[in-house]
Amino acid sequence: MQRVHSSLESGFSLSRIAFGLWRLTDWGYSPQERLALFEQMLDLGVTTFDLADIYGDYRCEQFFGEALRLKPALRSRMEIVSKCSIRLAGEASGARINHYDTSPAHVRRAVETSLRDMGIEHMDLLLLHRPDPLMDADALAQVLEQLVAEGKVKHLGVSNYLSQQTALLQSRLSRPLLVNQIEVSLLQSQPMFDGQLDYCQQQRVIPMAWSPFAGGRLFAGEDGDAVRVQACLRSLCEARDLDPRHGVMQLALAWLLKHPSQMVPVLGSGNPERLVAALGALQMELDREEWFELLRAGRGRDVD
């Protein structure tokens, strides 16, 4: 399996495709079945596991930890990514309304709760899940530095941050922000034009792409944009003699993987066959005109 290595922090790398666990509680797997799936992904070279405190109504990390405790030795083969800063209303968070919270007290409490729920001593990468308009960059940076110094977090990043928001937090930190996890797909190509991916390349930040299949719209969406992209993907499958069951998915991923920012798509399927098929994208290379053909389908217009 290919890897993406950080040029900002020696020793930090992610698998070329990450395993997203935001639907882990929906898959109906027993702890033993979850463990078997995790082990299968590791054996295939997918070592980056993506979670967040809020996933599964604050239960995904518990489900993950329940499985990992069955075979703790697997921990050494993983990069565990988690996120905090969103608080969802309800008993689990004690919040009255959905809101963002990057206060030092909340960030520390969230990290320590995640570590306890997953049964691990540290997370390899902590991401701030969403930009907080009330973020005190100095106070946030201080608690992040403390968590790293305490060994509870190895590396830092952000998620869904615009370039200037990332730059603000980076200006207060002594260590680099290594990742920005953002939504990118054939139906969400705006980060390629609004400066987000340019900033990633400029600052050598690794972009992780969530929802690379546009929430399933690339396969079953009935809106005009989705239908247009589906037709283009099927046409390319036919030209390449690919089985469209898997070829559509592989081409959509190959389109992301070709971007020079070294994007890491996050796949969130609990179907092992589908996950294995998706990895075929790593052996696929789109030429420039095929890439722009798909871009045109996604945007609904030619380049100027």
Strands 18-20 and 48-50: parallel
**Rounded to whole angstroms, how far apart are CA atoms 13 and 3?**
7
Q: Are strands 99-100 and 86-87 parallel, antiparallel or unpaired?
A: antiparallel
| CA atoms 298, 280, 290, 2: torsion sign | positive
Is there a catalytic annotation at residue 29? no
Instruction: Return phi, psi of residue 211, to 5°.
Output: 55, 55
Whether the CA torsion 230, 231, 233, 238 is positive or negative: it is: positive
Give me the DSSP letters along the chain: --EEE-SSSTT-EEESSEEE-TTGGGS---HHHHHHHHHHHHHTT--EEE--TTHHHHTHHHHHHHHHTT-GGGGGG-EEEEEE-EE-BBTTTTBSS-EE---HHHHHHHHHHHHHHHT-S-EEEEEE-S--TT--HHHHHHHHHHHHHTTSEEEEEEES--HHHHHHHHTT-SS-EEEEEEE-BTTB-GGGTSSHHHHHHHHTPEEEEE-TTGGGHHHH--SHHHHHHHHHHHHHHHHHT--HHHHHHHHHHHHHHTSTTT-EEEE----HHHHHHHGGGGG----HHHHHHHHHHHHTS---
Catalytic residue among 55, 58, 161, 199: 55
Q: What residues are labeled active site?
A: 55
